[in-house]
Amino acid sequence: MDARALAALAANPGCRRRALLDGAGVDKGALAQALGAPANFGQSQFAHQRGNSFEARVKADGGADLVRLLHERLRDGSEPSGPGAVATPDLTASGPQGRTARTALALREATEAGRWALLDHPMVSLDVAGSSAFLEPDAVVVHPDGSWTVIEIKSFPMVDGSADPAKVGAAARQSAVYTLALERVASMIGEPDEDGGGTTDPAGAAETAGKAARGPVRARVRHQVLLVCPKDFSNLPTAELVDVRKQLAVTRRQLDRLTRIEEIAAALPEGTTFDLRLTDDGRIPTRPVGELTAAVDAVDAAYAPECLSTCELAAHCRIRSRAAGRVEALGRGVRGELGGLTTVDAVLTAAMNGPADGAPTGDPAVDALRRAAALRAEALAARPEAVACR
């Protein structure tokens, strides 16, 4: 599960289906394919190449460029880093657990060293609904004062200092997940001193740096991430600090709210499986579609049209949601005015089959619907020439 998936999961915490499948590590794309409702996802190789080449360019020369950009944006009056002042610890290790441990060690050393350090593609883990997810931020910079900043490198442009708000929002949600995971690492590394919680003044930082040799230092994760994008129409990097406190709070709350996967799994019928293996001839899946569909339907989904852009299984959920006539299929906000009416049929029945005298029913949602239906019918009937919309 990557940070993007986690952010999407956090955006729809009520979806047990997604929580279970993600938690169990099921390939939702392949599952959707097997169910006959594949998602329209995919990345163009042009975008991929562009993203990679831009990231490589940004990280060239040992991260000095990145640290310079970060320092410029901070505007805290501190000394800029001199040439060769950025440490780039080696993070290679085998397996995600190994890399996570290596990253934690490198972070600890860099924090104690009290100088700039760039961690290129570190790995951190986060506990999601009872199982571990390993995440790989683009980079993390350790400041001389021992604080850490998440770096997010994106290849969409920042034109005249502003970028597509939807894309910036997605990047912020994704970075918030990294920040959250890093906070766990930070809490394990640095136990706060008894005398003072989270001072950020330079004196405190200097003191901390001074103590580095003697005892555990205070590591903290900054709640502003650095978003690095191409400037205007060039391939020169530019950056802005993005405050992710709100996204962080939302993600933290949503992840806490996630029903624990064991509970969801416990409610499943015995023997439920999402096995997608193919039989020996490599063509026919082991499980017939009907069985898979039943397995997927055994877990509730909370489908809304927003899912279409974030979840591979959304096309399947949409079919089921529409077949059940659920009003959310028309948009999340639709429910608001409809009171206890949850299906399209119920709404239409309530709207059209009122008592002849139009007496109020006592249900404000039903009364408003009847009024709306009557007004709509009146206006449509008054059309000069009923225009055929075909």
Partner 1 sequence: MSLITTLARMEAVREGRAQPLTTVRHRHLSPRPLAFVPLTTAGEAGAPLGALVGTDRDAPRLLIVAQPRDRDLRFAFLAELAEEIQPYLDSYADEVDLEERKETDPETGKKVPVQVELCADAPQLLVPSTAGVAFVRLLGRSMRFRRTAEQDPETPFPAPARVPLLGRWLTHYGERSRVPGSCLLLSLTELLSRHWATGQSNLEDQHLGSLLAWIDPPEGAPGAEAALRAESERDGDGLLRCPPAGPSTDPAFDNKLLAPAMSRYDAARTEASQGVAGGAARLRLAETELRGLIASQLRPTWDALWHGVDLLRSLPEGARVADRWKRDRWSYTGHRDRVRAGEPPQPKLDDAVTAAQKLAARETAQAQLDAHEALDDPLVMAGRRLAGEAFAGEVTDVEMAWSDAKVPRPRPLVTIRTEDRPHLAERVKLHRVTADGRAQSGEFAGLADLDGADGADEADGDHGADVVEGPGDTDGLGDTDALSHAHGPGRALVVRLTGGMGRGKEPEPGTVPEKGDLVCWTLFEHAPRGGPELPDVESTPWTHGGPPDAAAPAQGPQPDPMTEEDHL
Contacts of residue 3, defined as CB under 8 A and 6 or more positions apart, other chains included, come to 135, 137, 174, 175, 177, 178
Q: Both ends of the chain: CA-CA distance in Å? A: 46
Contacts of residue 16, defined as CB under 8 A and 6 or more positions apart, other chains included, come to 259, 264, 299, 300, 301, 302
Verify binding: residue 137, partner 1, rule CB under 8 A.
Answer: no
Q: What 3-state class would DSSP assign to 293? A: helix
Burial status of residue 162 (CB atoms within 10 A of its CB: 0-12, 13-18, 19 or more): exposed
| Binding span for partner 1 by CB under 8 A among 3-11, 248-256, 265-273, 343-351 | 343-351
Verify binding: residue 356, partner 1, rule CB under 8 A.
Answer: no
Task: Give the nearer residue to partner 1 in terms of CB position, either 76 or 378.
Answer: 378
β-bridge pairing 124-128 and 131-135: antiparallel
Binding mask 88-107 for partner 1 (x = CB under 8 A): --------------------
| Binding span for partner 1 by CB under 8 A among 96-104, 114-122, 288-296, 302-310 | 302-310
Verify binding: residue 308, partner 1, rule CB under 8 A.
Answer: yes
Binding mask 178-217 for partner 1 (x = CB under 8 A): ----------------------------------------
Task: Give the nearer residue to partner 1 in terms of CB position, either 246 or 371.
Answer: 371
Interatomic CA distance for residues 220 and 228, integer angstroms: 21
Verify binding: residue 11, partner 1, rule CB under 8 A.
Answer: no
160-163, long-range: CB < 8 A, 24+ apart: 160/232, 161/240, 163/227, 163/229
φ and ψ at residue 205, rounded to 5 degrees: -65, -40
β-bridge pairing 147-153 and 224-230: parallel
CB of 233 to partner 1, least distance (A): 5
Verify binding: residue 383, partner 1, rule CB under 8 A.
Answer: yes
Interatomic CA distance for residues 14 and 9, integer angstroms: 9
CB of 155 to partner 1, least distance (A): 5
Verify binding: residue 271, partner 1, rule CB under 8 A.
Answer: no
> Which of 158, 156, 143, 161 has the alpha carbon at shortest distance from 81?
143
Verify binding: residue 322, partner 1, rule CB under 8 A.
Answer: yes
Task: Give the nearer residue to partner 1 in terms of CB position, either 203 or 389.
Answer: 389
CB of 165 to partner 1, least distance (A): 11
Verify binding: residue 233, partner 1, rule CB under 8 A.
Answer: yes
Verify binding: residue 44, partner 1, rule CB under 8 A.
Answer: yes
Tally of CA atoms within 13 A in the half-sphere of 264 that contains its CB: 24
Q: Which residues bind partner 1 (CB under 8 A)?
A: 38, 40-51, 53, 155-157, 159-161, 230, 232-236, 305-306, 308-309, 315, 322, 325, 327, 329-331, 333-334, 337-338, 344, 347-348, 351, 357-360, 364, 368-369, 371-376, 378-380, 382-384, 387-390
